[in-house]
């Protein structure tokens, strides 16, 4: 018994000693850092920005700064750890929060002030004795947007940005091709209800689904959504009052000529299944357009919005990705910072400006530009030739003046259309063929890689002044699986110019040109078929355009007395960029 008690005492002592040692190690590690967690920075217009700074205590010389600017306040965990990571890698870590967040007493207005505020914070950092005059930024989603916002008026101390799945307000969210998308409604509460994050509201999926479906079922105006919810949504109302890509949106981030002034190197990350991909790639395409000699790089693969920021996920929307597509995004990010800010080696994965994983081939490839990724364009016409339960996707134009007619009753809430454009699951046994038209090609005679974004024209005539259109692109494999490749949803009246609405003349044939579709790289098998679905956007998950020509947010089910009649002309076409070898 005495031996047992002695043994027990030694064990307890060992555990106590182990815990003491562990606690000491933690304290020792904490003592390595100089943490300033309550820094307040004044902007030129008198607003307050709350910030945190972390540097190693033994550091005496000025260092480059790794800077994040975000609306997501997670200062008790991830934020502080990311700053320590920067310090561990030989930098000083700084994170600042959108005005109104954390300790800032200003009001919260997502997106609206970040372009000027990032400049002011960078200017403040550059004047601190611990900064050597070089600053790099990184981060995903909203944090990606703030990096581009910082480039609208580029501060000389900002030397590089590393945006992951960057948002572009007004383009991709809260509206895509001028159609407002419902999920952004609840996000406004999540980030705007308090100084931190309203997780209780953010996790209340039932509340917002109930609200969304009640709006759909009752047919009230879209701008009454928050009345149904029972809580005013200031951000939502501000957004929907700007259905055009007007000055309100343009001033938030670089626009047109602003890109000429962006002369710093950029490393961007994105995903084929990132639902805000249109936002992220917009920046790079505009940079190439206005500043062709820019030093920008892209890494893109089969990732979702979240997955891109994590370096990939093994399963995306039910699809098992190629093993080689998974990357260490944090490692690559700091290799890039070392390359730009410390004259280190360029990350090995950057073989050229566009670095992409080919789905189905399990390999990485690179190209000097988006345009050079393909060497052929497959063009197909949406013919009127019936084949079983679909129509022939014809490589030749044969039905110039014929059309397929569709009637859509907006008052009917039982039947929805365009409800499968979102890629979940990515691969499935069947697609919905009942709410639009489906076109299928002959089997492909050779394998190829679809590389890029498809485009085309939907030639239509309608009995109304406007319509929201959807088109989805699939590969039908020899095994009978439909693989979701890309999609487009957009408002016809903004197809020519997203900054100005041009209503359609009823009953007159009109060509709706589209190009802002989702980018992809996918190995297509020999024997596969290309499948295209077209339909009218009518479902509870976005605005409903009744076609009266009035502001869409004010239309109600009373405007649905006359069903939409749309003629889809058979000279409509799609163009698909492919790489043949």
Q: First vs last Cα of the chain: how many Å apart?
A: 80
Q: Residue 26 has what pLDDT?
A: 45
Q: State the alpha helices, DSSP H only, in 361-463.
A: none
Delimiting residues of CATH 2.60.120.260 domain(s) in the chain: 374-579
Q: Which DSSP letter does residue 169 get? A: B
The CA–CA distances, whole Å, from 86 to 148, 285, 445, 515 equal 21, 30, 52, 40
Q: Residue 84 has what pLDDT?
A: 97
Structure-token match 């990485």, residue found: 364
Q: Residue 251 has what pLDDT?
A: 97
Q: Which DSSP letter does residue 542 get? A: B
- Contact in structure between 136 and 67 (CB atoms under 8 Å): yes
Report d(CA 88, CA 55) in Å as an integer: 8
Length of the chain, in residues: 581
In this structure, whether the domain defined by 374-579 belongs to CATH 2.60.120.260 is answered with: yes
Contacts (Cβ under 8 Å, ≥6 apart) of 486: 453, 454, 472, 473, 517, 518, 519, 520
- Contact in structure between 544 and 410 (CB atoms under 8 Å): yes
Q: Residue 29 has what pLDDT?
A: 60
Delimiting residues of CATH 3.40.50.1820 domain(s) in the chain: 30-168+246-372
Q: Which residues of the chain have pLDDT under 50?
A: 1-26
Reply yes or no: is the peptide bond before residue 425 cis, omega within 30 of 0.
yes
Closest CA to 469 of 541, 417, 403, 394: 417
In percent, how much of the chain has pLDDT > 70?
A: 95
Residue 56 burial by Cβ neighbours in a 10 Å radius (0-12, 13-18, 19+): middle
CATH architecture of 30-168+246-372: 3-Layer(aba) Sandwich (3.40)
The CA–CA distances, whole Å, from 354 to 152, 300, 305 equal 23, 8, 19
Q: Residue 30 has what pLDDT?
A: 63
Chain centroid to Cα 405, Å, comes to 34
| pTM score, whole prediction | 0.93
- Contact in structure between 427 and 528 (CB atoms under 8 Å): no
Contacts (Cβ under 8 Å, ≥6 apart) of 205: none
Structure-token match 């040692």, residue found: 21
């Amino acid at each position: 018994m005495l031996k047992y008690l002695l043994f027990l005492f030694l064990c307890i002592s060992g555990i106590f000693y182990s815990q003491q040692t562990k606690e000491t190690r933690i304290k020792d590690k904490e003592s390595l850092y100089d943490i300033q967690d309550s820094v307040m920075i004044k902007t030129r217009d008198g607003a307050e920005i709350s910030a945190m700074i972390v540097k190693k205590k033994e550091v005496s010389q000025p260092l480059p700064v790794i800077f994040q600017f975000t609306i997501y306040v997670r200062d008790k965990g991830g934020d502080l750890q990311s700053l320590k990571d920067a310090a561990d890698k030989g930098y000083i870590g700084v994170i600042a929060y959108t005005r109104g967040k954390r300790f800032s007493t200003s009001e919260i207005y997502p997106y609206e002030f970040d372009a000027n505020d990032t400049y002011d914070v960078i200017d403040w950092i550059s004047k601190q004795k611990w900064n050597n005059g070089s600053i790099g930024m990184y981060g995903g989603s909203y944090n990606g947007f703030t990096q581009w916002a910082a480039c609208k008026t580029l501060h000389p101390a900002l030397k590089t940005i590393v945006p992951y799945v960057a948002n572009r307000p007004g383009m991709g969210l809260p509206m895509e091709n001028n159609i407002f998308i419902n999920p952004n409604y609840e996000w406004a509460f999540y980030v705007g209800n308090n100084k931190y994050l309203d997780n209780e509201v953010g996790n209340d999926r039932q509340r917002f689904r109930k609200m969304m479906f009640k709006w759909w079922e009752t047919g009230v105006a879209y701008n009454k959504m928050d009345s149904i919810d029972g809580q005013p949504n200031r951000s939502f109302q501000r957004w929907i009052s700007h259905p055009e890509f007007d000055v309100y949106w343009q001033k938030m981030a670089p626009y047109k000529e602003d890109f000429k002034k962006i002369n710093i190197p950029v490393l961007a990350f994105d995903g084929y299944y990132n639902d805000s991909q249109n936002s992220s790639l917009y920046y790079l395409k505009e940079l190439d357009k206005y500043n062709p000699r820019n030093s920008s790089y892209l890494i893109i693969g089969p990732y979702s919005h979240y997955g891109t920021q994590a370096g990939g996920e093994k399963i995306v929307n039910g699809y098992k990705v190629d093993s080689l597509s998974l990357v260490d995004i944090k490692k690559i990010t700091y290799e890039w910072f070392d390359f730009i800010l410390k004259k280190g080696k360029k990350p090995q994965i950057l073989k050229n400006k566009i670095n992409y994983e080919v789905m189905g081939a399990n390999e990485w490839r690179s190209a000097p530009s988006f345009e050079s990724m393909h060497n052929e364009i497959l063009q197909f016409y949406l013919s009127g030739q019936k084949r079983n339960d679909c129509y022939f996707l014809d490589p030749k134009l044969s039905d110039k003046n014929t059309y397929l007619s569709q009637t859509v009753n907006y008052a009917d809430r039982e039947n929805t259309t365009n409800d499968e454009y979102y890629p979940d699951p990515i691969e499935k046994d069947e697609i919905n063929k009942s709410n639009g038209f489906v076109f299928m090609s002959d089997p492909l005679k050779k394998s190829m890689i679809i590389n890029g974004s498809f485009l085309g024209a939907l030639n239509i005539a309608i009995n109304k002044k406007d319509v929201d259109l959807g088109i989805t692109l699939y590969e039908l494999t020899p095994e009978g699986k439909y693989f979701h490749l890309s999609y487009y949803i957009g408002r016809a009246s903004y197809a020519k110019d997203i900054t100005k609405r041009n209503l359609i003349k009823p009953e007159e044939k009109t060509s709706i040109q589209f190009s802002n579709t989702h980018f992809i790289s996918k190995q297509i098998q020999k024997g596969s078929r290309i499948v295209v679905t077209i339909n009218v956007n009518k479902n509870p998950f976005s605005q409903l355009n009744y076609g009266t020509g009035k502001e869409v947010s004010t239309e109600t089910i009373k405007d649905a007395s006359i069903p939409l009649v749309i003629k889809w002309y058979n000279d409509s076409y799609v163009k698909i960029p492919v790489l043949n070898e």
